[in-house]
């Protein structure tokens, strides 16, 4: 198991704060969007894009690249922020989020946005697409891996479990699911809408290797991703225990920020909090 340096972890911590600030800014200027789930998934995306995935942003079509699919496509603002920080398009374009005719739509579109591997929107479909990519890698004798982020509310979809059974049947050890377990969906607490517990046992019963981690601890996430890369004969599901709206005090754990933009005063407060977090990290003097 690799040891992750303080320098690396601080770098990822700073990237997460940057991404969260860009998410809040983009959704605010759009006047709509799904901010809570984007903030809860941010740390996992940062670990993937800025350290773990074999991915060259200068060659987004490199055929041996690792693939990432955002099945919970409504939280695309976080993915767009990662792609922008990687230089696939100017950061300023994030303020075009959800605008008519803009290439950053409210759900990822592989035909419009550089770096998007699979078009998603209707929940439950991204894992099936990811299985296709993982099978293609095997058929083409390629070593790239496929990562798919899904939501806990999304696990109420029957297609998720059909896909889970298929991935296990084919022994897709080059496939890894990142399950954002923030406990809230648009209508309320996940367990009240339709219980998905015992979640780890369910995934194991479908033949998956399961790892549970703190979804806001970069070190834990990186270690889980490293383990997933070594698992043979079965796909891996990393259950990320997260907080909806993570990083902004009044958004954390709030269902009201599942799908609405912050108001003017909320925007100012959120940007101040995230700016203060960036300043705190910079004072540590340990960035990449």
The SS3 of residue 73 is helix
Assigned CATH class of 6-284: alpha beta
Residue 50 has pLDDT above 70, yes or no: yes
Q: What is the pLDDT of residue 127?
A: 98
Q: What is the tens place of the pLDDT at every residue in 262-282?
A: 999 999 999 999 999 999 999
Domain definitions of the chain by residue range: 6-284
Query: Is the full-model pTM beyond 0.95?
Result: yes
DSSP assignment of 174-189, as one string?
Answer: TEEEEEEE-SEETTEE
- Give the burial class of 173: count Cβ atoms within 10 A of its Cβ; 0-12 exposed, 13-18 middle, 19 or more buried: buried
Q: What is the tens place of the pLDDT at every residue in 74-89?
A: 999 999 999 999 999 9
> Distance between CA atoms of 198 and 185, rounded to whole angstroms?
18
The residue behind tokens 């084919």 is 170
How are strands ordered across the β-sheet holding 146-151?
Answer: 67-70, 146-151, 175-181, 236-241, 209-214
The SS3 of residue 211 is strand
DSSP assignment of 193-206, as one string?
Answer: HS---SHHHHHHHT
Q: What is the pLDDT of residue 3?
A: 76
């Amino acid at each position: 198991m690799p040891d992750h340096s303080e320098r690396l972890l601080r770098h990822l911590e700073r990237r997460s704060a940057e991404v969260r600030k860009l998410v809040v800014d983009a959704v605010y200027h759009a006047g709509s969007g799904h901010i809570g789930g984007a903030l809860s998934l941010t740390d996992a995306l940062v670990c993937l894009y800025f350290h773990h995935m074999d991915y060259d942003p200068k060659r987004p079509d490199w055929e041996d690249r690792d693939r990432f699919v955002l099945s919970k496509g409504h939280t695309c603002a976080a993915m767009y922020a990662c792609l922008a920080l990687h230089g696939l398009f100017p950061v300023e374009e994030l303020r075009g989020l959800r605008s008519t005719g803009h290439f950053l739509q409210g759900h990822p579109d592989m035909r419009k946005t550089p770096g998007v591997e699979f078009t998603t929107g209707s929940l439950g479909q991204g894992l099936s697409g990811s299985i296709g990519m993982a099978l293609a890698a095997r058929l083409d004798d390629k070593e790239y891996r496929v990562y798919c982020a899904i939501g806990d509310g999304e696990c109420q979809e029957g297609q998720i479990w059909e896909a889970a059974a298929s991935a296990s049947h084919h022994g897709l050890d080059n496939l890894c699911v990142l399950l954002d377990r923030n406990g809230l969906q648009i209508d309320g607490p996940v367990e009240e809408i339709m219980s998905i517990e015992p979640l780890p046992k369910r995934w194991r019963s479908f033949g998956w290797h399961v790892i549970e981690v703190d979804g806001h601890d970069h070190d834990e996430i990186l270690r889980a991703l490293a383990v997933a890369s070594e698992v043979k004969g079965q796909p891996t599901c990393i259950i990320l225990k997260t907080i909806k709206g993570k990083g902004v005090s009044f958004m954390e754990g709030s269902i009201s920020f599942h799908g609405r933009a912050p108001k003017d005063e909320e925007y100012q407060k959120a940007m101040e909090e995230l700016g203060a977090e960036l300043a705190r990290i910079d004072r540590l003097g340990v960035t990449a």
